[in-house]
Amino acid sequence: MTVPIHLLDKYNSPVPRYTSYPPANHFKDTFTTDNFVQALIDSNKMQPENLSIYIHIPFCKRLCFYCGCNKISMVEDNAIKKYIDALKTEMKSALSHIDKSRLLSQIHFGGGTPNVIPVGYLNEITSYLLSEFKSIENPEVAIECNPAYLDREYLVALNKAGVNRFSLGIQDFDQKILKSVNREIPEIPVNELVEMIHDINPKAVINFDFIYGLPGQTVDSFSSTIDEAISIGPDRIVTFSYAHLPSVFKAQAALERKGLPSPEQKIELYLNTYSQMKSNGYVPIGMDHYVKPDDELSLAFSNHLLHRNFQGYCTRRTTGQVYAFGISSITQLENSYFQTTKSIEQYNESINQGIFPIEKGYILQPHEIIVREVIDELMCNKILDFNILAENLKIEKAEIKKCLTIDKTSLDTFAADGIINYSEDRIEITEIGILFIRNVAASLDPVFQSSVMNYSKSV
């Protein structure tokens, strides 16, 4: 597959990542603890019926220059305990408003680096949640880990805590690249960590995270990294396109000085990775995920049943309304989002006073829920079929179209550039088009069309 260079010039523009709809920079700061409680109560009657729980552990031992996550530098032991106590209080108060007959389908520890805190805290949290709710069969308990801080003892304890999905943030196997972005080098090689995980739980799902577009990465160097990943053979491999937004993440400016790859080089890195993955039997799903053919995400993709939330891709089985705990975390309900404060001091203080420290939120109007479904379909399943969606949402397809900014000239241009195939009732993203899905989604999105916001570029 090749991508004509003129497409890059044309489409490499700032567009939302669409990890939520509307994107988080549209959230408003007018929401209170009372609004949140009411939303929790209302959510009991909403869809999806299952519960997905996100817990944010913000601490990191060393801050990577490229990082776009909500993290803070590691604190001393008693400050960690104080945060975990506040987390438990927050969960307890929120759970008092949630209908306990609903089933728990997913627990996700994200960060920051959840595996830098004593594992006993993670165990207390999963034990509490699993005792409070009935779960679906084999609920997903996932954790984002920095491999530099894993060893057998920690992995055994995570297994005891019920963790069955491990996301290992590798970023690159090239130590020079890791050093230049201020990232710790794991002492135990990743292949040994994977063996340990499988030895402890042969059914555990393992995911590797990489980033392409970092200073110094070349097609050859990144291709060796991907070869190494493929030879270890995790269930899922994610290659994130480096999102550069130094106005928000100040440390990223350091990478500009080291020299970032050009958009053309990034495309080359992407295309090379794409064909390496495909020729080694991995199935590309969404924009940046590659999974083994028998993985449940691959099966969901073939049946057009893939979903996505802030935690990543999920299936209908594991998806749920997301109740999020900890600083900066985002609760994602059927018709609303609520984000907690990013300040740990304010968080601890408010929670101890019985207040949910809501920083921002958003209530979706019915037409925005429809746009969210449309964007989800494109981003996850790469096909938007208006008839199928109308049937799923139990509304007329004309009603769906009314909510979108469908501009025939833009669609014709995307089609002429080989990005989509489309007809009256269907828009399908082509293989080349995967790089520009966000542009296609943005063209249908009335909120994007009418606003000026700060986004990273599509490539």
Interface residue list for ligand SF4 (CB under 6 A): 60, 63-64, 67, 69, 71, 111-113, 146, 169
- Residues 6 or more apart whose CB falls under 8 angstroms from that of 262 comprise none
Q: Smallest distance from the beta carbon of 28 to ligand SAM, in angstroms?
A: 25
Q: Smallest distance from the beta carbon of 118 to ligand SAM, in angstroms?
A: 17
Q: Smallest distance from the beta carbon of 116 to ligand SF4, in angstroms?
A: 8
- Judged by beta carbon distances under 5 to 8 A according to partner kind, the member of ligand SF4, ligand SAM, none in contact with residue 215 is none
Report the residue number, 46 or 245, with the smaller CB distance to ligand SF4: 245
Token readout for 332 is 């994602």
Q: Which of 146, 207, 276, 458 binds ligand SAM (CB under 6 A)?
A: 146
- Judged by beta carbon distances under 5 to 8 A according to partner kind, the member of ligand SAM, ligand SF4, none in contact with residue 243 is ligand SAM
Q: Which stretch binds ligand SAM (CB under 6 A): 105-113, 217-225, 409-417, 429-437?
A: 105-113
Token readout for 344 is 């740990």
CA distances from 311 to 109, 133, 271, 323, 331 (A): 9, 21, 25, 12, 11
Q: Smallest distance from the beta carbon of 209 to ligand SF4, in angstroms?
A: 9
CA distances from 65 to 69, 127, 184, 210 (A): 11, 35, 12, 15
Which residues, listed in sequence order, are joined to residue 237 by a DSSP beta bridge?
Answer: 208, 290
> CA 194, CA 284: separation in Å to the nearest integer?
22
Q: Which stretch binds ligand SAM (CB under 6 A): 61-69, 120-128, 373-381, 390-398?
A: 61-69
Token readout for 56 is 């944010």
Instruction: Report helix, strand or coil for 313.
Output: strand
Report the residue number, 58 or 320, with the smaller CB distance to ligand SF4: 58
- Judged by beta carbon distances under 5 to 8 A according to partner kind, the member of ligand SF4, ligand SAM, none in contact with residue 209 is ligand SAM
Q: Smallest distance from the beta carbon of 425 to ligand SF4, in angstroms?
A: 42
Report the residue number, 8 or 64, with the smaller CB distance to ligand SF4: 64
Q: Which of 90, 140, 144, 376 binds ligand SAM (CB under 6 A)?
A: 144
Q: Smallest distance from the beta carbon of 115 to ligand SF4, in angstroms?
A: 10
Instruction: Report CA torsion sign: 170, 172, 174, 178.
Output: negative
Report the residue number, 266 or 360, with the smaller CB distance to ligand SAM: 266
Q: Which of 7, 40, 51, 69 binds ligand SAM (CB under 6 A)?
A: 69
On the question of a cis peptide bond just before residue 162, with omega within 30 degrees of 0, the verdict is no
- Residues 6 or more apart whose CB falls under 8 angstroms from that of 225 comprise 170, 172, 173, 174, 210
Instruction: Report CA torsion sign: 281, 285, 290, 295.
Output: negative
Which residues, listed in sequence order, are joined to residue 308 by a DSSP beta bridge?
Answer: 313
Token readout for 143 is 């954790």
Closest CA to 197 of 262, 145, 241: 145
CA distances from 317 to 103, 206, 234, 299, 307 (A): 11, 18, 21, 12, 10
Token readout for 319 is 């998806």
Q: Which of 16, 22, 58, 68 binds ligand SAM (CB under 6 A)?
A: 68
Q: Which of 39, 141, 197, 211 binds ligand SAM (CB under 6 A)?
A: 211
Which residues, listed in sequence order, are joined to residue 428 by a DSSP beta bridge?
Answer: 383, 421
DSSP H or E run through 226: helix 219-232
> CA 174, CA 227: separation in Å to the nearest integer?
12
Q: Smallest distance from the beta carbon of 381 to ligand SAM, in angstroms?
A: 23
Report the residue number, 122 or 211, with the smaller CB distance to ligand SAM: 211
169 binds ligand SAM (CB under 6 A): yes
Tell me the residue type at 189.
P
Between residue 226 and residue 265, which ones bind ligand SAM under the rule CB under 6 A? 240, 242-243
- Judged by beta carbon distances under 5 to 8 A according to partner kind, the member of ligand SAM, ligand SF4, none in contact with residue 72 is none
Report the residue number, 243 or 369, with the smaller CB distance to ligand SAM: 243
- Judged by beta carbon distances under 5 to 8 A according to partner kind, the member of ligand SF4, ligand SAM, none in contact with residue 63 is ligand SF4
Interface residues toward ligand SAM, by CB under 6 A: 60, 66-69, 110-113, 144, 146, 169, 171, 209, 211, 240, 242-243
